[in-house]
Each structure stands twice: as structure tokens, then as C-alpha cells.
Structure 1
Amino acid sequence: MWKGSISFGLVNIPIKMYAATEEKNIRFRYLHEKCQTPIQTVRTCPHCQVEVPWNEVVKGYEYADGRFVLMEKEELEKLLPDENKAIEILDFVDLSEIDPIYFQKTYYLGGQDQNSKAYALLREALRKTGKIGVAQITIRSKQTLGVLRVLEDCLILETIFYPDEIRATDQVPYVPAGQDLPAKELEMAEKLIENLTTPFDATKYKDEYRERVQEAVEQKIHGQQIVESPSPKPEKVVDLMEALKASLEATKPKKKTTRRKKATS
């Protein structure tokens, strides 16, 4: 999807970029109920009450309610960043210094030939130092910030948000602060976390809703009746301490029982 190079210092590594992830959703189209024909999206002007062709569409920035400043295509093109087709590494940092909230989308980076010594050199240097590279790249006329790191034997680029794109946590209402928590409840909560702690295995998790929708669609295709999943029974409301005790009991590791050998004469 993109061809260029990685540059850091005077080193230049030719690479090709590939999408590393894909969203798996059940996609529906809007149909006309009467004839089941897909609905088309039509651009209309509510003031003139006419359909608007693309050659009459312009870009405008709404700086106040109902007030716009127009930007011509030529004006915007002059402001485009330099598309030098390079992932320019600006700094090297520790991965632990970047909060996951910054991460946006992942891309695989492959070499432009089978035996790229520079590619392998950067990969091994990143692996041995435990560092990641903070870089800038221009994709589809948009300057993007990203980090370069190693996954297995592949270099990957993670695009990340700029700091001013991250909303401050103090904008979130009703966040408890400065509460004195009972020591016993805190201890039990910590113990519950320990009981539920396990090595991460991504294959354990699945999109159950998407699977149910897919199954329902398949049933309709084959003319079968859709069976609804049973509704969960409402749980009894308990206080925090009771909930912690019940959760701890339910998550206790099962003890292995050992059978005693019978004495032989």
C-alpha cells in the first residue's frame, strides 16, 4: 500500500508497507423495503433543493455557526507536506514510555529485496537495545507520527496520535479522586486480580456478537428459523465486600488432591 524507505542518520533502507490488521464486521447495506434495491447516497443542497454534482462542491471550514471560510484545491495543495517517501526516524525511546492510548494503526514493513542487510541491521539493533524509533511519515497527503519497532522478525510501524489529539482525563466527569479505601477491601481486590492473572493468549478471545450475527445471516440464507440466545438472569444486588468475597471464592485455584497409597503387608 506504500513504497519508500526508512531513514535514520545517513542510513536509508528501502521498504514496502502492508496493512497488518483488518476489521471484521458484518456489513449491512440499506435497501428500499418495497423492492429491496440498494439505496444510493445523493448530494443535495437543502437551500437550492437540487442535486449537486461534484464539480460544484467546494471545501469550507466552519469557524462559527453557519459561517465558513472557503479553501480552494490549489491553496490546500501548496500546504501539503513534502512527500519524500521516507519514514524518518527522529528519536529512539523506550516502548514503556508511550501510553497505549497513543497507538492508532499497525503496518508491516517488508524489504524491497530478499537480502536487505540494512533492514536486518536495524531490526537487530532495535531488538538488542530494546528501543523503538519515533518517526514521521506522509501517507495519502497527511503527515503522520509513528513508532518503529520489531515484531518477531518483522519491522512494524505503529501510527500514533499527536499529543493535542489526546483528550485530557480531567474532561471525564465523575472520576473518584482522593478517596480513603478500606484496607481489607483493597487487599481483597488485589487478591482477586492475582487469581485472575494469566499469560496473555489472544486466541482465547472472540467477537461473540459478530459470530451470532453471522450465524443468524447463514440461517436466513438457508431458510432456517433464527433462534434467539437466552437472556441472562438478573443478578442479585450485593454490596462491594460481598461481591469481593464471592469473586475470590469463585476464582480460587483448585487444589490438586493426592491419593494415599494403601499399605502393603
Structure 2
Amino acid sequence: MRGAFVRVKGDHPFSTSARRPITIPPIMAARSVGSGTISFGLVSIPIKLYTATSAKSVSFNMLHKTCGSRLKQQLLCATENTVVERSDTIKGFEYARDQYVKFTDEELKALEAARTDTLELVEFVPADTVDFLYIEKTQFLGPDKGGERAYRLLSESLERAKRVAVGRFAQRGKDNLVLVRPYKKGLILHECFYSDEVRSFDDVETGGAFEFKPIELELADKLIQQLDRDKFEPERFRDAWADKVREAVEKKIAGEEVLTAPEAPKAQIIDLLEALKRSVAAAPAAPASAPKAEAPASERAPAVVAKGPKKAEPRKDTEKTERKKKSAG
């Protein structure tokens, strides 16, 4: 079977224009940032590329503290103590401390990957083997004119096979590792980190092996059940810090005073069992959902029953009993 690939025309930069703290741009229809063709076997599918994500966090400018005017960044030569124009700069690679190899723009251009704008799919892998850690950026893929039926067929085939396509995408002078997967009756493109760009979790100290008491496991399971939901709903969450900044800006514009919030107390480290008990007691009730099958009795944590003080048994008067027996005899 021949390899599959995508030929893409036009630029589709991931960078976004500068944003101001309060201004919220109006919602607009999706706009294509590139076009191309997916080739799979003897099938050609014309497609369009769309920006999938755009950060909305607040941003600030650096101002002069005394007069409030915006500052400009300049390039300063520490050796000659002079301001350098960008036209007088050259790129350098530091191969040793304070030792550089210089490159001109022409030399770097010659080292860039050939600008073919081709996304070549080289293999298909099970979707559940893809680690989210490798995903860096995301773009939507949509069908171009005349490619709707074939585009949808590829999406449904990948969905049915539970596979993700792995490929290479040469753009902006760099050969990028990408994933193409089915998404909401269509396709989506993920630009990924290479393996040497992802640090190993094995370097993280996680402590030794632990054995937990049945009551600890039972309380931990109960806490998870109380906070359990059927699906991830990102629309339920907002950037609280950005909201506070916007509110503070509005107050400052209106001449109102912005009060400083008190510092939150540091979390107190308490006994694990006690912490689980308090967490379960304080957790909100879980939303109504389908009843879950009860675990077999052999897998359930043993019930913990609080026992009261042991009742005192009546003392036997053995000496009096013996005297009665002797008198009767």
C-alpha cells in the first residue's frame, strides 16, 4: 500500500495578533488559513486548514514608572555599550560558553527543509497508544470543494478502526511530527513534540512503595465517586484570574480603589486518614448518573464498625457460694 500524504498551499502561522486586556474580538466564521490535498492510495481529498485554538488570557505592556509611557525594547551590545539596530545583527550558535558559530540568513535558509508543504502520513497506530504529553499545537482539517464525500469516508474509517495517522509535515523550514485523527465527523491535525523534546517521567521522584489500609482505600474511592462526572466539560470553567484583572481595570478606569486580597493560608499537612475523612465530609454530592454495578463481596473493602466500650460483667462472689455449699453439706 502506498504512503498517504497531504500537499498544502499557503501559510498558516500559529501566531496570533497582539491582544489588549479588555477588548474581546467579535465571533466570526471559521476562516481557512491554508489548503491542500490528502492522498491515500488512489484517492485524492482536497482539504482546508483552520486555526483550532487561540489564547484569550490578559496581557500587559511595560511602562515607564514615572511618566506612564510605553517602553521600547532595544538591543544593547555589552562589549561596546551601544544600541544595535536589527539590521546589524547576525545569528550565532553557542557551542561552548561564550563561544559562537555565526550564520548568515542565506546560510540558514540553505539548511531549511525543502518547502514542499507536504504532510506525509507514514503509519497508522491505535488511538489509545498516543500520549497527550506529545501534543503541542492543533489545527482543524476541513474538506475543500468536491472533497466532502472522500473526506468523510476517511474520517469514519479511522474512527471505526480506532486508529490515528502519524506523519511528517515540512513547513516554515522545519520538518514537523504530526498526528491526524477523526474528530466530530471530520479530521483534526496535531503538531507534536519529538521524543527528545519530551522529558522522562522516570526522573521524577515519586517515593517508595506503600501499602494502604482498607479504610484508606474505601475513603479515597468514596471521595472520587462524590466528585465524579460523566464527561469533561471545559465550558464549566473560567479563567478566574483574567476575570479579576478585567474587573480591576474597570475599577481603575472609573477611579475606584482596588483592594488587595489577603494572602491565602498555607495548606496544613495532616494525617492521610484524617484528611480523607474531612475531604469526604466536605465534598459536594455527585450529580445524578446511571447506577454503577456493585463490586463483588470479595473485592469490597471490609466495613469498619465503631465499637463501644465493653460492658462490665457482674463479679461472681465465689467465697459466699462456697460457704453455702459447706453449710448445706
TM-score between both structures, scaled by the size of structure 1:
0.86
Q: Which has the higher contact order (CA 8 A, sep 6+)?
A: 1
In the aligned structure 1, how far is the partner of 2:158 from the partner of 2:37? 17
Q: Is the 8 A contact 1:5 1:87 kept in 2?
A: no
Task: Give the number of the structure whose alpha-carbon radius of gyration is greater.
Answer: 2
**Which digits, 9 at most, give the CA deviation of each residue in 1:99-132, with x for residues without a partner?**
1111111111122326533222212212222211
Aligned to 1:198: 229
SS of aligned partner of 1:220: helix
Letter of the structure 2 residue corresponding to residue 192 of structure 1 = L
Aligned to 1:260: none
Q: Is the 8 A contact 1:92 1:134 kept in 2?
A: yes
In the aligned structure 2, how far is the partner of 1:234 from the partner of 1:161? 36
Which of 76, 79, 104 lines up with 1:44 in the alignment? 76
Once the 2 structures are TM-superposed, how far is the Cα of residue 245 of structure 1 from its aligned partner? Answer: 1.1
> Are 1:182 and 2:213 counterparts?
yes
Aligned to 1:163: 195
Aligned to 1:118: 150
Q: Is the 8 A contact 1:5 1:85 kept in 2?
A: no
Aligned to 2:240: 208
In the aligned structure 1, how far is the partner of 2:256 from the partner of 2:186? 45
Once the 2 structures are TM-superposed, how far is the Cα of residue 237 of structure 1 from its aligned partner? Answer: 4.8
> Are 1:83 and 2:119 counterparts?
no
Worse-matched range after superposition: 71-80 or 58-67: 71-80
Inter-CA distance 11–135: structure 2 relative to 1 (3 Å threshold): farther
SS of aligned partner of 2:36: strand
In the aligned structure 2, how far is the partner of 1:245 from the partner of 1:92? 47
In the aligned structure 1, how far is the partner of 2:284 from the partner of 2:239? 27
Inter-CA distance 238–18: structure 2 relative to 1 (3 Å threshold): same
Which of 159, 168, 172 lines up with 1:136 in the alignment? 168
In the aligned structure 1, how far is the partner of 2:113 from the partner of 2:81? 38
In the aligned structure 1, how far is the partner of 2:137 from the partner of 2:191? 5
Letter of the structure 1 residue corresponding to residue 195 of structure 2 = P
> Are 1:150 and 2:193 counterparts?
no
> Are 1:99 and 2:131 counterparts?
yes
In the aligned structure 1, how far is the partner of 2:240 from the partner of 2:222? 29
Letter of the structure 1 residue corresponding to residue 216 of structure 2 = E
Q: For structure 1, list consecutive stretches of 5 or more residues without a partner in the other structure.
A: 257-265
**Which digits, 9 at most, give the CA deviation of each residue in 1:7-62, with x for residues without a partner?**
33444333222211111111110011222211111112111112222232111111
Once the 2 structures are TM-superposed, how far is the Cα of residue 227 of structure 1 from its aligned partner? Answer: 3.8
SS of aligned partner of 1:149: strand
Letter of the structure 1 residue corresponding to residue 206 of structure 2 = V
Q: Is the 8 A contact 2:45 2:147 kept in 1?
A: no
Aligned to 1:24: 56
Inter-CA distance 18–185: structure 2 relative to 1 (3 Å threshold): same
Letter of the structure 2 residue corresponding to residue 118 of structure 1 = A
Worse-matched range after superposition: 201-210 or 79-88: 79-88
SS of aligned partner of 1:23: coil
Inter-CA distance 144–242: structure 2 relative to 1 (3 Å threshold): same
What percent of counterpart residues are identical?
35
In the aligned structure 2, how far is the partner of 1:178 from the partner of 1:234? 28
Aligned to 1:262: none
**Which digits, 9 at most, give the CA deviation of each residue in 1:127-150, with x for residues without a partner?**
222211112112322221111112
Once the 2 structures are TM-superposed, how far is the Cα of residue 228 of structure 1 from its aligned partner? Answer: 4.1
Letter of the structure 1 residue corresponding to residue 88 of structure 2 = E
In the aligned structure 1, how far is the partner of 2:167 from the partner of 2:208? 36
In the aligned structure 2, how far is the partner of 1:252 from the partner of 1:37? 49
Letter of the structure 1 residue corresponding to residue 106 of structure 2 = E
Once the 2 structures are TM-superposed, how far is the Cα of residue 213 of structure 1 from its aligned partner? Answer: 0.7
Letter of the structure 2 residue corresponding to residue 15 of structure 1 = I
Aligned to 1:70: 102
**Which digits, 9 at most, give the CA deviation of each residue in 1:58-98, with x for residues without a partner?**
11111111111122322222221122222211111122101
Q: Is the 8 A contact 1:103 1:161 kept in 2?
A: yes
Q: Is the 8 A contact 1:87 1:137 kept in 2?
A: yes
